[in-house]
Amino acid sequence: MASTKNIKLSFLSVFILTLVGWLVFGTLSSAVSPAPAAAEETQGIALGAVQDDYVGSETCRGCHESQFDKVAMTKHGKLGDLASWKGKVVGCESCHGPGKAHVEGGGDKTKIKILANLDPKAVSETCLACHAGKENHNNFRRGDHWRNNVGCTDCHSAHGTSFAPQRAGSIVQIGPAAAQRSNQADRAMLKNSEPQLCMTCHTEVKAQFSKPFRHKVLEGTMNCSDCHNPHGGFEQKQTKLAVGADASCIKCHSQMQGPFVFEHAPLQLEGCSACHTPHGSSNAKMLKRSTVRQLCLECHTNIFNVELDPNLPAGPHTQTSIRTQNCTVCHSQIHGSHSSRFFFR
C-alpha cells in the first residue's frame, strides 16, 4: 500500500512541478498579458513567408463575403482577438496561404492554396500546423484515417457548419433523415452528425447498430467518439482508454474494472471484445456467439480436463444437461470473483 501511495505522490509532484515550470518560465504570463507591440505589428505573417505577401482577411471579404461571414462566427474567425495569437497568421490566409498574388492576379485560382484540390494528407498538414499540439490529435499522422487518406476536411468544415433545422424524430436514424439532426453537428465544426459521418465509410456498422442488443448510437445517446478517437491513437481500432489505462468500456461499465482477486484472463489481457461485440448483436449481452458455450469452447477446449482429473467427481459438464450448455449458469461471475477461483460466487 505504501508503495502505491508513493507512486501517487510522485505523480502528483511531477504534475505540480510541471505546472509550476510553465508558470515560472512565463508561459502563463504570456497567455494572459497583452502581446508586445512589436508582435502586433507582425500580425498576419507566417514563418517563412514575406510580410508583403499577405493581404489580410478584410481583403478576402471583398470577393468572398459569404464565406467571410460564416467563418467570422467560428472560432477560426475569432482568433485574431486573442492575445496568444498575436503575431501569428490568422484568418483566411492561415489556411489558404498568402493572398497577394491571388488578388493581384484578379482572383487567379492557381495563385492561392485551394484545399479542395489538395491531397488529403496535404490538407491535414495544413490543419495540423495549429492542431497537432492537442493530445487527441497527436497521433493523427500514425492513425488509420491518415493511412487511408481521410483528411481533416472530410469530416470537418473549417468554415463552420450551418445549424440544421430539425424535423420530426424517429428511432430510425440512418440515411438522409439523420443528417438533419443537429445532434453533434454543431460541435467541433463537424459537417454532419457524428454517427452519420462515420457510417458514410464504415457501412458495415449500420447493420450492427440496428441489432436488438446494441449501444444506443443511432438514438443519439452515445457517439462513436465515446469509444474511438477518430484522430488516431496508440490503441488498435483507434479506441480510447478510460480511467487512465483501462479499456474505454470501463468508463461506463465500471463494475468490470476490477481488479478482482481472481480475474478471468481475457478481461485485462485480451479486452472485452474477446467475448462481446461492441457495436451491436442479435445475441444477449452483445456476445459474439448466440450459444454461450461456443464462445467458451473457442478458448477452453481443455475445459473438460476436470473430467479426467481423478480428484474431481465425473459428470459436471455432461452434454445432456441444459445447465452445462450455458456455462455462465454456474460460472456466474465470469468477469471476475473475489472469493471463487472458478467464478462461482
Question: Which range in 38-46, 52-60, 97-105, 243-251 contacts other proteins by CB under 8 A?
Answer: 243-251
In whole angstroms, the minimum distance from the beta carbon of 289 to other proteins comes to 6
Pick the stretch among 38-46, 97-105, 106-114, 131-139 that binds other proteins (CB under 8 A).
Answer: 131-139
Length of the chain: 345
Within 36-65, the residues that bind other proteins by CB under 8 A are none
What residues numbered 306-345 form the site for other proteins, per CB under 8 A? 307-311, 313-326, 328-330, 332-333, 338-339, 341, 344-345
Task: Tell me whether residue 28 or residue 105 sits nearer to other proteins (CB atom).
Answer: 28
Pick from 182, 153, 159: which is nearest to 72 by CA?
159
Identify which of residues 50 and 207 has a Cβ nearer to other proteins in the complex: 207
Phi, psi torsion values for 281, nearest 5 degrees: -155, 160
Interatomic CA distance for residues 255 and 289, integer angstroms:
23
How far, CA to CA in Å, does 11 sit from each of 4, 24, 134, 143, 244?
Answer: 11, 20, 21, 29, 13
Minimum distance from residue 108 beta carbon to other proteins (Å)? 21
* Size, binding site for other proteins by CB under 8 A: 149
User: Which CB, 51 or 323, lies closer to other proteins?
Assistant: 323
- Cα torsion 169, 174, 176, 180 to 10°: value is 40
Please give the torsion angle defined by the CA atoms of residues 101, 103, 107 and 109, in that order, rounded to the nearest 10 degrees. Answer: 30
Complex with other proteins: residue 9 or 50, whichever CB lies closer: 9
Considering only residues 168 through 207, tell me which ones interact with other proteins, judged by CB under 8 A: 168-172, 174-177, 181-184, 186-187, 200-204, 206-207
Determine which residue in the list 62, 82, 105, 107 makes contact with other proteins, applying CB under 8 A: 82
Which uninterrupted H or E stretch holds 293?
helix 292-297
Q: Binder to other proteins among 12, 50, 63, 114 (CB under 8 A)?
A: 12
Q: What span, in angstroms and rounded, lies between the C-alpha atoms of 345 and 340?
A: 6
> What is the smallest separation between the CB atom of 103 and other proteins, expressed in angstroms?
22
The one segment of 52-60, 91-99, 100-108, 141-149 that binds other proteins by CB under 8 A: 141-149
Of the pair 106, 170, the CB lying nearest other proteins is at 170
Where b means 16+ CB within 10 Å and e means fewer, 319-330 reads eeeeeeeebeee
- 77/57 Cα distance (integer angstroms): 9
Q: Is 15 in the site for other proteins (CB under 8 A)?
A: yes
What does residue 183 show for φ and ψ, rounded to 5 degrees? 30, -105
Check: CB of residue 193 under 8 Å from CB of residue 215. no
What 3-state class would DSSP assign to 34? coil
Identity of the residue numbered 221: T
| Rg over CA atoms, the chain | 28
Which residues in the 88-107 window bind other proteins by CB under 8 A? 88
- Residue 106 CB, nearest approach to other proteins (Å): 26
Task: Find the binder of other proteins among 81, 106, 109, 110 (CB under 8 A).
Answer: 81
Stretch that binds other proteins, among 7-15, 36-44, 50-58, 98-106 (CB under 8 A): 7-15
Please state the closest distance from residue 181 (CB atom) to other proteins, in A: 6
Binding of residue 114 to other proteins (CB under 8 A): no
Stretch that binds other proteins, among 36-44, 92-100, 101-109, 213-221 (CB under 8 A): 213-221
Q: Which residue has the cell 493511412?
A: 147
Q: Taking the complex as a whole, how short is the minimal distance between the CB of residue 101 and other proteins, in angstroms?
A: 21
Residue 258 CB-half CA count within 13 A: 22
Under rule CB under 8 A, residue 24 binds other proteins: no
SS3 content of the chain, % helix, strand, coil (to 5): 45, 5, 50
